[in-house]
Structure 1
Amino acid sequence: MTDTIQQIVSDLTTRARAAARTIAAVSDDQKAQALIAAAAALRAASTEILAANAKDMAAGVEHGLSAAMLDRLKLDPARLESIAAAVEQVAYLADPVGQIIDRSERPNGLVMERVRVPVGVLAIIYESRPNVTADAAALGLRSGNAVILRGGSEAVHSNRAIHAAMIKGVVSAGLPADAVQLVPTQDRAAVGALLAAQGQIDMVIPRGGKSLVARVQEEARVPVLAHLDGICHTYVHAKADPAMAEAIVVNAKMRRTGICGSTETLLIDQDYPDPAGLIGALIDAGCEVRADDMLMEIDPRTVAADEEDWGTEYLEPIVSAKMVSGVDDAIDHIAHYGSQHTESIITADDAAAKAFLAGVDSAIVMHNASTQFADGGEFGLGAEIGIATGRLHARGPVALEGLTTYKWLVHGNGQVRP
């Protein structure tokens, strides 16, 4: 790692820390107005942003990016308007900063309060989606944090244009430009410097593929908020309504196969009356079903699953399917192969649902609902920075509240400790 890269990151974090102190003290209304101005600036700069994106798209084609990667990278007027509207939406969300989580009075008269405060300085490391530049900036700013953004080289021109427009809006509302900084170099050493910035950065949030998230989790010397895989399960219990089960299973897998909340493994109870209906509905919808021996006998169009399939996040129209002997067997399978993201049980049996909801240790556990609802907007949280699958700080969709921590406020009237 060069001294130059270290100096760049040191400068970014020093300026971010100063900006974080300023933002933490500004009013809710001023933060909201800054985001409204940022959204207006994005719309005003649409020509420049789309031209920058065209450069990234041309480079992506030249370098052989996949169709899926190019689709994530591509901006058009409708997508840009959606980005601006999402920033505007964050402006109207309730501000978590200053919220009293709980309050109690001790026998000696001391009043104890836990109050939400910003985390401080956030580093967001992400890949080819330029919308993350705007989303991360908006969520970080609204929750009172300073943000350092490091986007992927595939979207470098798009990210710079979006960032420039947003900063124009933020500054017009009286907030510091250093509230949202974009790392000015695409040198990979900058990522390593950010991950090593213990004491300068308070939390790192990776958004991208498995290799990026794995690198961040392996190298970071600061807390990380992330999920590595979205190996989500849908378990169809013996007492599931067949019509409901079929509708949910097809939606959970096929609505959007490339999102982290897409079901990757279907577990079917051995006493469920119509496993053939579930397998057939998936295949008819264009999904490849990689099945265990029992399910392969039901539909010859299935493909044999191997051990690797149970731990694979396909992100395409492929699902692994297995017969299980009951709730406990389903829970055991999820515990062994899952990624603690999102799991769902389909059943009319309340006792079975209760056992599943209590026994599965994932960030999101559902009953009679599609795993595709694993999304901050569907949870009523507005925009999200991602789905966290760890056990500390935040779990599930991470929005404004997940970008805060708390401090204790103690109110006395002269008490001294005996």
Structure 2
Amino acid sequence: MGSNADLTRAFVKDVKRVIVKVGTAIVTQADGRLALGRLGALCEQIQELNSEGYEVILVTSGAVGAGRQRLRYRRLVNSSFADLQKPQHELDGKACAAVGQNSLMALYDSLFSQLDVTSAQLLVTDNDFRDPDFRKQLSETVKSLLSLKVIPILNENDAVSTRKAPYEDSSGIFWDNDSLAALLALELKADLLVLLSDVEGLYSGPPSDPKSKLIHTYVKERHEGAITFGNKSRVGRGGMTAKVKAAVYAAYAGIPVVITSGFAGDNIIRVLNGESIGTLFHRDANQWAPAGEIGAHEMAVAARECSRRLQVVSSKDRSKILLDIADALKENENLILAENAADVAAAQQAGYEKSLISRLALKPGKVSGLANSLHMLANMEEPIGQVLKRTELAEGLILEKTTSPLGVLLIIFESRPEALVQIASLAIRSGNGLLLKGGKEAKRSNAILHKIITSSIPENIGKKLIGLVTSREDIPELLKLDDVIDLVIPRGSNKLVSQIKASTKIPVLGHADGICHVYVDKSADKDMAKQIVLDAKTDYPAACNAMETLLVHKDLVQTGLVNELIVELQIKGVTLYGGPRASSLLNIPEARSFHHEYSSLACTVEIVDDVHAAIDHIHRHGSAHTDSIVTDDHDVAELFLHQLDSAAVFHNASTRFSDGYRFGLGAEVGISTSRIHARGPVGVEGLLTTRWVARGNGQVVNGDVGIVYTHKDLTV
């Protein structure tokens, strides 16, 4: 999936002449009034493209709708009360077209004039195209207009069209503005046709049906006859059926077509930038979809089927898969490091931040470290089917609460290729199917690691247990699959996690920020405080468990420990920012915000009155990730550990210990700050849920008459 996703839109770099067709549903509001905002955004996009050297031709609907609204008003003001009591006849469509065309073109002229662009009107009828001289003249006129940077606006001349019933009559050379746009694309030798719709593109079923999926690339052999269309357009003649018919006609004649939403203010520009939005129709599309390639939904379904086969094999067999992967990683270490080095070189050349390149690079010993963690997981106690609670409900009716895999996980992670190995190994140990989406900066590293891991999965389970999603455009579709995917775990920036949480109904486990604190209390051992603070900040500054804020007790200003800590940090190259108290007392720049994750050799320092003030500061400005206290006062330590509401709280230890491997979990899929399900570093346990298993001998409820409940706890 996604292997050709970027290539399918590569042709746009050669596009010069583009036809944009805008339908009545875009041009007018639901009540028939012209949609000024949408038309304004459309004209702005066309003006921008015009200035960039594109030749843009506009085919517009909307005249009949706009005219009908004006004529209804005209009839209303010219009617007596008695006239209005009589049955109202439907207005003449051709009269509506004549009045509406005038209004529509006046608006286009006004909007384009505001943008210093000139537009021209060309009205055509079906019969015109039967005349070869007309077709030749049309091409010459359009060519002249485009050479002068004028925008030709075409529409069917409905006012004088001889078609008797244009809304039902689909005979002739064209029969609506979709087929007119396709015809003009051929006549005027366009490089691309964009059909703007009131939905995102072509779906597998009616867009209102949540099970319908957006089709990114239409393949005639695959999709023809397999798509269920919704209702016809609320106002125009066509709807999606007409658009698809026109798109197929143009595409197979050699002109690529994209159907996309006209409600977004920048979709035409995005299409021409090569973004995979809407639905692409291209005559070569069948060559881009090899038989082995599967879509997002099919990939998720395959992962679920494989996970069910994985769950029924013995614990020993699942452990063996992990040991085989560990061996394969060690055997292929040189290949892995070579691919990773290529990713790092490409990232450096692209000018990525040093913190990202640091996370991307597989440091010496990392592959053997990953192999060791796989051995640790393989030797773990069997996690699936563990009995957590056993209860006798009634005599001879025993209920057990047991551990069970979640199902299918979608993990979206940035930069770190080792995360792929950790996540895959945890999924295998816990019996879950897995879809992985790594960052493009680690493309080669992820591909080789995925290949090595899946080649170690036996055929009776299936390599599709772990799917690697390679195209960013597939993520929105995956996030809609709440019927197949059971949990999303994002590992990355605050922005990534926030975007995913806002984009899906699937439960999301993760943390948006890693704003970790170390609080040095007045009773702290001086040398211990220095060691912990330096380790928490400088051991791996890009990690989410690195210290971002240092809080110090006010008494330590007088004892000099604050200055010593600051000097030690500065010697290590840490840039310091202060809260209001620290910046004035210590003469360091003031931090813009306490809620800031530096992910680099920088941190915020603030002075607080006592442990209560420290706890209050962390609750107000922290991210509930990992926070530590350095103190020799047992009572103060216990107060901090019990009152602070973070996923991990430490006493006299570096925040860097907040890690799945260091916690003895073998590995981690990420760190969770949510309060539902798993919290803190998430290992195998966090990828399990529970289910109930009852064993009886013929008991029935029967209104609870014939059963005596004992509800007796039994030993597990």
The verdict on a shared fold, with TM-score over 0.5 as the criterion, is yes
Q: Residue 465 of structure 2 corresponds to which residue in structure 1?
A: 179
Between stretches 253-262 and 97-106, larger displacement belongs to 97-106
Give, in angstroms, the shift of residue 235 of structure 1: 1.3
Gaps of 5+ in 2: 1-199, 201-213, 218-278, 280-293, 705-716
User: Equivalents in 1 of 2:678, 2:684: separation in Å?
Assistant: 11
Q: What SS is found at the alignment partner of 2:475?
A: helix
Partner SS for 2:458: helix
Q: Deviations over 1:256-310 (max 9, x none)?
A: 211111111111122344433333332333322222354345544xx232341x1
**Which of 661, 667, 671 is the equivalent residue of 1:377?**
661
Paired residue type of 2:423: A
Residue aligned with 2:391, SS: strand
Question: In the TM superposition, what are the counterparts of 1:316-327 in structure 2 within 5 Å?
Answer: 316-327=600-611
Do the aligned partners of residues 249 and 24 (structure 1) sit closer, same or farther apart at CA in structure 2, a change above 3 Å counting? same
CA contact (8 A) 2:405 2:432 kept: yes
* 3-state SS, counterpart of residue 238 of structure 1: coil
Match of 1:253 in 2: 537
Residue 322 to residue 78, structure 1, CA distance change in 2 (3 Å): closer
Tell whether the 8 Å contact from 2:373 to 2:661 is kept in structure 1 after alignment: no
1:44 aligns to 2:328 (yes or no)? no
Please name the residue that 1:25 is paired with. 312
**Cα offsets for 1:227-252 (capped at 9, x unmatched):** 11110111122322233222222222
Which residue, 299, 304, 321 being the options, matches 1:34? 321
Q: Which letter maps to 1:62?
A: Q
Of 138-147 and 345-354, deviating more is 345-354
1:309-320 map, 5 Å: 310-320=594-604
The residue aligned with 1:13 is 300
After TM superposition, give the deviation of residue 34 of structure 1 in Å.
Answer: 1.0
Amino acid at match of 2:215: D
Q: Partner residue of 2:590?
A: 305
* More moved, 340-349 vs 279-288: 279-288
Larger Rg: 2
Distance in 2 separating the partners of 1:128 and 1:231: 19
Aligned to 1:351: 635
Higher RCO structure (Cα 8 Å, ≥6 apart): 1
SS in 2 for 1:304: coil
Give the equivalent residue in structure 2 for 1:90.
377
Alpha-carbon spacing, 1:271–1:105, altered in 2? closer, same or farther (3 Å): farther
TM-score where L is the length of structure 2: 0.54
Contact in 1 for aligned 2:355/2:600 (Cα 8 Å): no
Distance 1:76 1:240 in 2: 35
- Structure 1 pair 288–103 and aligned structure 2 pair: CA distance change class (3 A): same
Whether 1:201 aligns to 2:485 is yes
Pair 1:54–1:330, CA change in 2 (3 A): closer
Cα distance in 2 for partners of 1:348, 1:199 equals 52
Contact 2:401–2:692 (8 Å) recurs in 1:
yes
Within 5 Å, give how 1:146-161 maps onto structure 2: 146-161=433-448
Q: Which amino acid is 1:305 matched to?
A: E
In 1: Cα distance, 2:524 partner to 2:344 partner: 46
Shift of residue 4, structure 1, vs aligned partner: 4.0
Asked whether the 8 Å contact 1:276–1:298 carries over to 2, the reply is: no
RMSD: 2.4
Compute the displacement of 1:218 (Å): 1.6
Tell whether 2:427 aligns with 1:215.
no
Task: State the Cα distance separating 1:108 from its structure 2 match.
Answer: 5.5
What CA deviation, in whole Å up to 9, does each residue of 1:171-212 have, x standing for no partner?
A: 26x4311211112x42x2211111111111000111222222
Residues 1:251 and 1:158: Cα distance change in structure 2 (over 3 Å): closer
AA matched with 1:278: L
SS of the residue corresponding to residue 295 of structure 1 reads helix
Asked whether the equivalents of residues 280 and 299 of structure 1 are also in contact (C-alpha less than 8 Å), the reply is no
Alignment partner of 2:682 out of 389, 398, 411: 398
- Determine if contact 2:583/2:590 at 8 Å carries over to the other structure: no
Q: Deviations over 1:371-416 (max 9, x none)?
A: 1111112211111111111001000010111111111223334444
2: CA distance between counterparts of 1:79 and 1:23? Answer: 28
Which residue pairs with 1:189 in the alignment? 473
How far apart in 2 are the matches of 1:254 and 1:334? 21
| 2: CA distance, partners of 1:55 / 1:253 | 29
Residue of structure 2 in register with 1:286 after alignment = 573
Counterpart of 1:3 in 2: which secondary structure?
Answer: coil
Does the CA-based 8 Å contact 2:673-2:680 persist in structure 1?
yes
Aligned to 2:343: 56
**Distance (whole Å) between structure 2 residues aligned to residue 401 and residue 60 of structure 1:** 35
Aligned partners of 2:679, 2:507: CA distance in 1, in Å?
Answer: 14
Instruction: Say whether residues 1:410 and 2:697 are aligned partners.
Output: no
Deviations 1:36-95 (A, max 9, x none): 112222333445444443443443233222333333333477433333443343322333
The one-letter amino acid paired with 1:179 is: L
Aligned counterpart, 1:3: 215
Greater mean deviation of Cα atoms: 369-378 or 47-56? 47-56
Whole-angstrom distance in 1 between the partners of 2:463 and 2:483 = 22
Q: 2 CA distance for matches of 1:259 and 1:158?
A: 20
CA contact under 8 A between 1:97 and 1:117: conserved in structure 2? Answer: yes
Runs of 4+ in 1 over 6 A off after TM superposition: none
Distance 2:651 2:362 in 1: 36
Counterpart-to-counterpart distance in 1, 2:591 and 2:338: 46
Q: How far is the alpha carbon of 1:317 from its aligned partner?
A: 1.8
Partner AA of 1:178 in structure 2: K
* Partners of 1:217 and 1:193 in 2: CA distance: 14
Distance change >3 Å, CA 58–CA 255, structure 1 → 2 = closer
Aligned partner letter, 2:609: S
Question: Aligned AA for 2:590?
Answer: A
Residue identity opposite 2:534 in structure 1:
V
Worse overlay, 365-374 or 274-283? 274-283
Task: Pick closer, same or farther for the CA change 1:70–1:233 going to 2, 3 Å.
Answer: closer
Counterpart secondary structure, 1:190: helix
